[in-house]
């Protein structure tokens, strides 16, 4: 991790769960972190939970990844204040229980904008910053096991993951597209995806959480894997890392 000391890492969806864990662990690993989310108070609490001598390494900014104008404003501010973006972790994501056959199109659109278009827009801005400075940065996407297997739902119930799995399958394809583009454009920028299994975060529905019991990852399990991805030498690129809790049934 020596090459990343005091480098600038942007983490989206950093107010809770995996994003919060990554933001904290990056700071403890020596990076300067810009945490992005809509819930500023939650991020302030995360900042205050860090050792006092590390708190200055975490900056927090409001960002709604579904709002292109807001994303551009925030990334412009980051570049002005920090000089560029060296690492991007696309973690922001959302889900809503319901069936694709009849759920509100507004909810479907919000999931698509968050899980897919938000990733694309943030990556465009980070990639531009890395390429302009000829910096071999790293873009990491937090995907999901749902991007490898369409979740069937609980036994004797109608599946309720609707558009979530399709958005995560799309992210798998996007990751490969970025790999080809980053190379084809003559950069040394890495792209990696991590696909966790069920993780103890706010995104889990109550019935799913009850069915899983203790068979879940902790957010820091995923964060530790992200640190491993980032720590690989320049010639090694982790393309897609699957991580599951022991005993997971899918």
pLDDT value of position 214: 76
193 CB contacts (<8 Å, ≥6 apart)? 140, 141, 142, 143, 171, 172, 175, 239, 240, 241
Question: Would you state the pLDDT for residue 201?
Answer: 78
Closest CA relative to residue 141, chosen from 240, 34, 3? 240
Give the tens place of pLDDT for each residue, 69-84.
999 999 999 999 999 9
Q: What is the pTM of this model?
A: 0.94
Answer yes or no: is pLDDT of 206 > 70. Answer: no
Over residues 241-250, mean pLDDT: 86
Q: Name the fold adopted by 2-243.
A: Rossmann fold (3.40.50)
- Quick check: is 164 catalytic? yes
Which pLDDT does position 1 carry in this prediction? 82
| Catalytic member of 62, 164, 178, 228 | 164
SS3 breakdown of the chain: % helix, strand, coil, rounded to 5? 45, 15, 40
Tally of CB atoms within 10 A around 56: 11
Euclidean distance between CA atoms 194 and 190, whole angstroms: 13
Domain segments of the chain as ranges: 2-243
pLDDT tens figures, 3-50: 999 999 999 999 999 999 999 999 999 999 999 999 999 999 999 999
Q: Cβ(152)–Cβ(159) under 8 Å?
A: yes
Asked whether 111 and 164 are in contact (CB, 8 A), the reply is: yes
Q: pLDDT class for 151, splitting at 50, 70, 90?
A: confident
Please give the mean pLDDT across all residues of the chain: 94
Q: What is the pLDDT of residue 160?
A: 87
């Amino acid at each position: 991790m020596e090459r990343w000391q005091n480098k600038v890492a942007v983490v989206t969806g950093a107010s809770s769960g995996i994003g919060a864990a990554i933001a904290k662990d990056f700071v403890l690993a020596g990076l300067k972190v810009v945490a992005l989310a809509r819930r500023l108070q939650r991020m302030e609490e995360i900042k205050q939970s860090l050792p006092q001598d590390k708190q200055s390494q975490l900056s927090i900014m409001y960002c709604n990844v579904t709002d292109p104008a807001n994303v551009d404003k925030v990334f412009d501010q980051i570049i002005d204040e920090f000089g560029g973006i060296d690492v991007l972790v696309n973690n922001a994501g959302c889900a809503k229980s319901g069936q694709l056959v009849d759920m509100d199109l507004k909810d479907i659109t919000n999931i698509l904008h968050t899980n897919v278009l938000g990733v694309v827009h943030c990556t465009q801005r980070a990639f531009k910053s890395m390429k302009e400075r000829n910096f071999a940065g790293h873009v990491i996407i937090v995907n999901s096991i749902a991007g490898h297997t369409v979740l069937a739902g609980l036994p004797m119930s109608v599946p309720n993951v609707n558009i979530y799995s399709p958005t995560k399958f799309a992210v798998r394809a996007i990751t490969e597209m970025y790999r080809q583009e980053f190379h084809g454009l003559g950069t040394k920028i890495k792209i990696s995806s991590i696909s966790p299994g069920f993780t103890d975060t706010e995104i889990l529905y109550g019935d799913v959480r009850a069915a899983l019991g203790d068979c879940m990852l902790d957010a820091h399990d995923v964060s530790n894997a992200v640190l491993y991805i980032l720590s690989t030498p320049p010639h090694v690129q982790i393309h897609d890392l699957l991580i599951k809790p022991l005993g997971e049934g899918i």
